[in-house]
Amino acid sequence: MTDPGATTASGTTSTPNTRAATAAKAVDPIHLAATVLITASVLWRASITTRGYLTNDDFTIIGQADAGGLSPEHLFGLYNNHFMPAARLLTWATHRLTEYEYWPYATLMVIGQVAVSIAFYRLLRLLLPAGWALLVPLCLFVFNPLTLEDSAWWAVGINLLPMQLAMIVAIGAQVRYLRTRRPRHLVTLGASVVVALLFFEKALLVVAVVFLLTLCLYAPGGPLRAVLTTIRRWWPAWLVLGGISVVYLAGYLSVSTSTLRAPISAGEVSTFLQQYYGQSLPAGLVGGPWTWLDASDGPAVVALTRTAQLVSWAIVAALIGCTVWLRRTVAVRAWILLALYSGLGAGLIGATRLGSGFSGVAGLVPRYFGDVLLVAALCVGVALCGLRRAELADATQPADATQPADATQPADATQPADATEPADATQPANATRTADATEPADAGEPAAIRRHPQSFATALAVGLVLLVASSVYSGVDFGTDWQSKAGRDYLNTARAELAAAEPGTVFMDQPVPEIVVPGLAQPWNLQSRFFAPLDDEPVFVTKARKLSVFDASGHIRPAWVKGVQAAPGPAPGCGYQVTGGRTARIPLAGTVVDYWQAVRIGYISDRDTTALFRLGGSEAVPFDVHRGLNAMFLLVSGGGNAVQLTVADPAATFCTDEIEIGALVPQPVG
């Protein structure tokens, strides 16, 4: 039997109750549950990420890193109008490890997701009362299917993961500053924004969310009074953030080109808003979208069925209604915060994507919601749990600070070590409560929860299970789509073929398949740029007797030219005869567009010499002529309806009846 009055080494009496309390304090069950959930979410994401591969913009960004290296022109150059020197530097460093291997990029994204998930949980502990309910916003964010793209596609993750982390750190720094007025939190606030801006110019929205969160959740009074109070009372924070924003915008706007567009019609705007607010955002709040639309080699886009839309609307409406009924003012303020920030996101997308070829699905692209859903999870947490009660330095209490009820908070639950300031640091010695420093009307747990704690706990558990199950179900089709990668298959096939190719195999530069790198990325969609990061890259030439091409699958095939042919020649058994040093004009059966063209000349010559080929009025291209029956491939620039041929040796006789100008294709079989 255990002695209930056992004495410890320090001389104090240890009873079962004290030992149990000590053990309980050693393991916070909420921390333990959060750890399990975060671990499960990261493993779930990793299982999806590692099934895929690099795609579309990834090849362009890596190709530019290989070509530009550490040059300022590369690091500080814009990519599709995005300023991302830190992202370019990290891509270059990663590429130097293993060429086009995917595992370094996947590993970095998974590590980034771990950092973001842990930081988000710590932020929840800082903002919300320590209770089981804060696991709801945690799961809503870490298991959100609409953010799977952020941790799977390198070109997206390298921008959004740093932005998400900076947003979390900045909000935490701002809240600590509101509570303590310590300048070191302003340093953290400013530094987080600066670092994020080195990865993604959209990180300027971190400034907006910090201001809106302060306004909606911590400033007392009505709209006008809250705005004035926010600006006047916490002006040092706005001075820091405003200064960073002005300097950054001045530099960015001086080198960027405007991407603002005008919508084509009111119907286009209506469709976008219906997609954004009627499909994507509601689905993101309930673990949807459940069904996806395949987007070629990139990640899928949201494709809610009509039934799924109605279900998501009903659940979101019930959530809003329930939280407003339970917590009144704090819930209303939280939902207003989400409406304001999501409106900023919608405005930014609408101003840059509507009126373009991508406007038809602009409101369904998951990566546009990476930051919005982070804010949405915070807002859901505040609406459901309330704000953690903490004194604001030289100010009032948060508008609706709450204290968790015993039913939802373990007696031994503690805040993370850095989540709170020392007790005497939350209120300066000379600080006094202002006239409006009153407790909110709905401070403390709502009466409905206090009366029915078991029912609330059961509903909470059921909701969490359904949310996670819904998210995992939505991730199934996303993962299946992400697993299919034409770029990976094309590259792997080409590398295997190159390794087995005979010495002297050469190619003429041309675009890779559109599904691998879109033509919009030109010239980075050319094979010479695509294969350049490989150690054993193909050899590209502008003329060759024997030429090879990559087919659409990456296999190496003998080259041919498909296009406009020469008209039949007049000389029997020769076609067009070029001799005596004279220039022969050879008419074409059609007109060739003035651009870069591939040319195949099939000929027979009685001796070795050289010749000149000219398309239309373009510059003549020299090539070697070899005795016997041969062919020559040339890359020329020009256009017209005739070509000219001149042989250098007047004694040579050169015959050709095969001239074709157009695109390189694999040689027909048979």
Report, as an integer, the average pLDDT of 248-260. 89
Residue range 580-635, pLDDT digits in tens: 889 999 999 999 999 999 999 999 999 999 999 999 888 999 999 999 999 999 99
Does 33 have pLDDT greater than 70? yes
Q: What is the DSSP string of 29-44?
A: HHHHHHHHHHHHHHHH
Pairwise CA distance, residues 390 & 129, whole Å: 10
Which of these, 633, 628, 595, lies nearest to 613 by C-alpha position? 633
Report, as an integer, the average pLDDT of 49-54. 96
Report residue 523's pLDDT band, with 50, 70 and 90 as the boundaries. very high
pLDDT at 433: 40
Angle between helices 306-327 and 329-353 (to 10 degrees): 140
Pairwise CA distance, residues 138 & 130, whole Å: 13
Query: Percentage of residues in the chain with pLDDT exceeding 90?
Result: 78
pLDDT at 341: 98
Most confident of 20-34, 315-329, 437-451: 315-329
Q: What is the DSSP string of 342-356?
A: HHHHHHHHHHHHTTS
Which of these, 492, 493, 498, lies nearest to 536 by C-alpha position? 498
Classified as helix, coil or strand, 398 is coil
Q: Which of 19-33, 94-108, 374-388, 491-505 has the lowest mean pLDDT?
A: 19-33
Angle between helices 329-353 and 370-385 (to 10 degrees): 170
Report, as an integer, the average pLDDT of 299-316. 95
Pairwise CA distance, residues 493 & 495, whole Å: 6
Better-scored residue on pLDDT, 59 or 10: 59
Residue 494 CA to its chain's centroid (Å): 27
Report residue 16's pLDDT band, with 50, 70 and 90 as the boundaries. low
Report residue 25's pLDDT band, with 50, 70 and 90 as the boundaries. low
CA 167 to each of CA 23, 170, 174, 660: distance values in angstroms, whole numbers, following the listed order: 35, 5, 10, 59
Report residue 20's pLDDT band, with 50, 70 and 90 as the boundaries. low
Report residue 177's pLDDT band, with 50, 70 and 90 as the boundaries. very high
Residue range 399-450, pLDDT digits in tens: 444 444 333 343 343 344 444 443 333 343 333 343 343 333 344 677 778 7
Does 506 have pLDDT greater than 90? yes
Does 348 have pLDDT greater than 50? yes
Does 7 have pLDDT greater than 70? no
Better-scored residue on pLDDT, 164 or 259: 164
Pairwise CA distance, residues 344 & 571, whole Å: 73
Burial 514-531 (b: 16+ CB within 10 A, else e): ebbbbeebeebbbbbbbb
E strands present in 527-617: 539-540, 543-544, 548-550, 556-565, 576-579, 583-605, 609-615
Task: Report the amino acid identity of residue 270.
Answer: S
Most distant CA atoms of the chain, gap in Å = 120
- Long-range Cβ contacts of 522-526 (<8 Å, 24+ apart): 524/59, 524/60, 524/63, 524/64, 525/60
Q: Which CATH architecture has domain 561-666?
A: Sandwich (2.60)
Report the DSSP beta bridge partners of residue 105.
none
pLDDT at 298: 83
Report, as an integer, the average pLDDT of 291-298. 88
pLDDT at 280: 97
Considering the chain, tell me which residue range(s) the CATH 2.60.120.260 domain(s) occupy: 561-666
pLDDT at 92: 96
Pairwise CA distance, residues 493 & 633, whole Å: 25
Which of these, 328, 412, 326, 299, lies nearest to 22 by C-alpha position? 412
Pairwise CA distance, residues 483 & 499, whole Å: 26
Locate all alpha helices (DSSP H) within 517-639, ordered by sequence. 527-530
